[in-house]
Amino acid sequence: MPIVRSPEAVTHEIHGARFVSYATPRSGSKELCAWRGEIPAGLKAPAHTVNREEIFHLLDGELLITLDGRTERIAAGDTVIINPGATLAVENPTDRTAYSWVTTSIGLEARLADGTRIVPPWAN
């Protein structure tokens, strides 16, 4: 039975945010990936377009989420469904770190506005 204990989670950092990876093929998952996101105060992550559906649940804090040009403020307990092909930007306009839980299928890729392709290791 694959169990990932908290100290075994793998941490990655990109664009100023931290991704603490729990479920990936390396940890025993066959179809899904899941991680905790840590979005520091004042961070405005670059917009990116995803190729897989993501379920983004905010555990703690508040964020501004821009999805396909529409911006919404979300708070702890809110969930955003990000469909394949959608363009997402995340901003933390507050003075404290926000924490999220994200789930997607294996194979997630993102493209930045300049065409840069990102294959995040916490989702593959």
pTM value?
Answer: 0.94
Nearest to 52 by CA among 114, 111, 115: 111
Q: What is the pLDDT of residue 118?
A: 95
Q: What is the pLDDT of residue 56?
A: 98
The CATH code of domain 6-123 reads 2.60.120.10
Structure tokens at 76: 């702890």
Q: What is the pLDDT of residue 70?
A: 98
| 1 pLDDT higher than 80 | no
Residues with Cβ < 8 Å from 115, sequence gap 6 or more?
none
Report, as an integer, the average pLDDT of 48-71: 98
Nearest to 72 by CA among 62, 60, 84: 62
Cα dihedral value 16, 19, 20, 24, nearest 10: -150
Report, as an integer, the average pLDDT of 79-103: 98
Query: Are the C-beta atoms of 32 and 104 separated by less than 8 Å?
Result: yes
Question: Which amino acid would we find at residue 66?
Answer: T
Confidence band for 71, pLDDT divided at 50, 70 and 90: very high
The C-alpha R_g of the chain, in whole angstroms, comes to: 14
Report domain extents, the chain.
Answer: 6-123
Q: What is the pLDDT of residue 2?
A: 85
